[in-house]
Amino acid sequence: MQETGQNLKYTIKSRIGKMPGTPRSNAYKICIELGISFSTLNNWMNLVIGDKFSIPVEDFYRIAKQLGCTPDELFTSRDLINNG
């Protein structure tokens, strides 16, 4: 799980990296909880600002819950919240 740059749409990758344990094992735990594949989570973590794709709302809320934050805190920029 390499950091691809500062233009990530969501803070999921950095939040997973700050959790106790390894980023990979933390990501797999989230995948199990959400019932998604690792490649799906990896794609979501690497979305960049400007990508038209967004995480489905229900999954977005579940990821926020798993990471112990609000859904708004998953956005990299406050502008995305308003213009998303």
Would you kindly state where each structural domain of the chain is located, as residue ranges?
A: 12-83
**pLDDT single digits (tens) 23-36:** 999 999 999 999 99
d(CA 9, CA 50): 8
Cβ-contact 10, 76 below 8 angstroms: yes
Indicate yes or no: pTM above 0.85.
no
- Which residue shows structure tokens 């199990």? 32
CATH architecture of 12-83: Orthogonal Bundle (1.10)
Helix (H) or strand (E) holding 65: helix 57-67
Give the pLDDT of residue 2.
46
Q: What CA–CA distance (Å, rounded) separates 41 from 13?
A: 9
In this model, does residue 6 exceed pLDDT 90?
A: no
More confident residue, 46 or 2: 46
Q: What is the pLDDT of residues 39-82, one digit of tens each?
A: 999 999 999 998 999 999 999 999 999 999 999 999 987 544 45
